[in-house]
Structure 1
């Protein structure tokens, strides 16, 4: 049984406590320096050929696609060997390939059985990194020190992806600002149209009042000439009251149309207030919430446009209907 320990460490090789070394999302390590220690304290329960106690043992391994082979010191004449191997590794910077390597690879140890006088052949069989065979030393692994299978830098790709995402978010923000500007113009146009409609309504009310006054003055000669039934018969009571009823009906319809118009504007004004509040929150918010805020802006802009269109359409329809009924009543009276 081989005991292997992999522990996070600082740059000086001191092991970190659990609270300091805890990482929730491995992607947080991208672009940063990572130090850790691989140690092989001991190997227990080795079995040798009977009565052959001159044997020894050692371990070797490779890590993260490098050409270096890390070896422990040979331990002789022991079935429970104390290897006391410690090697510090530094990954600077951490790349996406390294994170994928940790997820898809295992640390494979080669156990060697040695004969006295033959360990020199084994220790010189492959190149070393000049770190005294890794006994208590450190090794820094950078992009250039890895084999060709790990030569591409995923960190640069991640940075490019993030830059592209930022550009896309900026473009969406510009589109949103353009929509807000259109909304401001629509609001100004709605105010102007509202003012124009109010002026038209005022003119209609004034015209109705003038017609009512002139109609009342014209009935006086008829009432004075009512004594001569043979020449000019008096008008029926319904015909005499018709102009007054039509005027009151016209005023009531116009008042109702104006009331419905302002009632319909309440949802639009509420949406406009929400839009302004959401705009302030977006400018002060974090970049992670930008997409949600932009979607909310688009919904509010669409809703405000619908509310304004419904209110204006309803007002126009009511005014046109009232004017049309007034004209029809005037034609029937004439």
Structure 2
């Protein structure tokens, strides 16, 4: 009743009941009508192969509404198609690499919705990789065989296992929507969708932004890791100094061993050959070659450092894909944080093992010195 009374009051005051459609509570806007859908499997992209076919758009009764000419094409960064040499036998060969591909919808044939009424139109919509937006083709009106000429470029900066699994197990669902007179065409909303400088959609950045957020304390975390690296470097320097001292002690012990061997030679000259043999064996055993022991420990340390050196080189070489794109810079910051964490862990492991090896050598040396003192 309040609505009727308000309308009547408006009529009494203005002499008419005309209102804007947006304000008319009795007016229902004309909305797009879902006509049907088609499924296009994405597995060919996992092998870097082109897929091209005509697919049926079927309604909820299983009847054909139209045919769509679609093409999934791996391409270069500039959009040029890749040749047969780009095909891979094992999709895992694409891991960590960049992937570019285009989706093209060129034709729509035999549209029953328009055939029944020539004033109608259609649009095709789809969602890819769980992105929070629907991509729409341009609307086509009054033509049962419209030329859509739609193409969109997608980019994955670093192919992951998750993305390959998605390609191998998922299909692209093409939704056909019917338009009629007074119906507003649907637009693709790209707000919040990362784009490269050439306009391609950055799929992995879209997905990562949904799953994770950039840590606000990135700079603080970077400084903390830098301090840890400096501490590890200082410990390595201390171990190097300890190694130098042990080498000096080893040299002195070898000189003492030489003196003992010369004394043993004098005993042999006096006729104690058997005793000399026992003495020599006893004199050599307490004094192993400490240089060789430390050389083994350092060799193992430098070998284990190869992984950390590789990560450091990679850390110096990587650059943002697009320095003018905030989403690209966020992804770059996340990637550098992970690399710094991994490198810090490897350095800590390598230095820890070196410390343990040096401690064992020092302990062994002290034990042998004590045994030698007791025997003497």
Match of 1:84 in 2: 149
Matches within 5 A, 1:244-283: 256=278, 259-266=281-288, 268-278=290-300, 281=303
- 1:85 positional shift: 1.8
- 1:176 positional shift: 2.9
Distance 2:93 2:225 in 1: 24
Match of 2:138 in 1: 72
Conservation of the 8 A alpha-carbon contact between 1:75 and 1:83 = no
Matched, 1:309 2:369: no
Conservation of the 8 A alpha-carbon contact between 2:104 and 2:149 = yes
Distance 2:112 2:124 in 1: 16
Distance 1:41 1:160 in 2: 51
- 1:299 positional shift: 4.9
- 1:169 positional shift: 4.9
- 1:10 positional shift: 3.2
In structure 2, the CA distance between the partners of 1:205 and 1:84, relative to structure 1 (3 Å rule), is closer
Matched, 1:13 2:79: yes
Distance 1:100 1:255 in 2: 70
Conservation of the 8 A alpha-carbon contact between 1:57 and 1:76 = no
Conservation of the 8 A alpha-carbon contact between 1:261 and 1:312 = no
Match of 2:18 in 1: none
User: Structure 2: any 5+ residue segments left out of the alignment?
Assistant: 1-37, 39-54, 56-68, 191-197, 312-345
Conservation of the 8 A alpha-carbon contact between 1:190 and 1:308 = no
Match of 1:183 in 2: 243
Normalized against structure 1, the TM-score is what?
0.50
Distance 2:290 2:277 in 1: 21
For these two proteins, the number of residue pairs brought into alignment is 256
Give the aligned CA root-mean-square deviation in angstroms.
5.5
Of 354, 367, 372, 1:297 maps to 354
Distance 2:301 2:127 in 1: 55
Matched, 1:52 2:123: no
- 1:318 positional shift: 1.4
Matches within 5 A, 1:25-36: 27-28=96-97, 35-36=100-101
- 1:193 positional shift: 5.3
- 1:112 positional shift: 0.8
Secondary structure of 1:139 counterpart? coil
- 1:303 positional shift: 3.8
In structure 2, the CA distance between the partners of 1:171 and 1:270, relative to structure 1 (3 Å rule), is same
Q: Which has the larger radius of gyration?
A: 1
- 1:86 positional shift: 1.0
Distance 2:165 2:184 in 1: 31
Distance 1:65 1:177 in 2: 50
Matches within 5 A, 1:157-306: 168-169=228-229, 171-192=231-252, 195=255, 256=278, 259-266=281-288, 268-278=290-300, 281=303, 287-288=309-310, 291=347, 294=351, 297-306=354-363
Describe the superposition over 1:38-73 as per-residue Cα deviations: whole angstroms up to 9, x where unpaired.
222455786559x82535432134668577853234
Normalized against structure 2, the TM-score is what?
0.46
Higher helix share: 1
Secondary structure of 2:368 counterpart? helix
Distance 1:122 1:7 in 2: 31
User: Structure 1: any 5+ residue segments left out of the alignment?
Assistant: 130-137, 209-246, 320-334
- 1:201 positional shift: 9.7
Describe the superposition over 1:301-326 as per-residue Cα deviations: whole angstroms up to 9, x where unpaired.
2442243234323211211xxxxxxx
Describe the superposition over 1:118-164 as per-residue Cα deviations: whole angstroms up to 9, x where unpaired.
5xx322x55777xxxxxxxx735589x98xx7598649989987886
Match of 2:178 in 1: 113
In structure 2, the CA distance between the partners of 1:75 and 1:152, relative to structure 1 (3 Å rule), is same
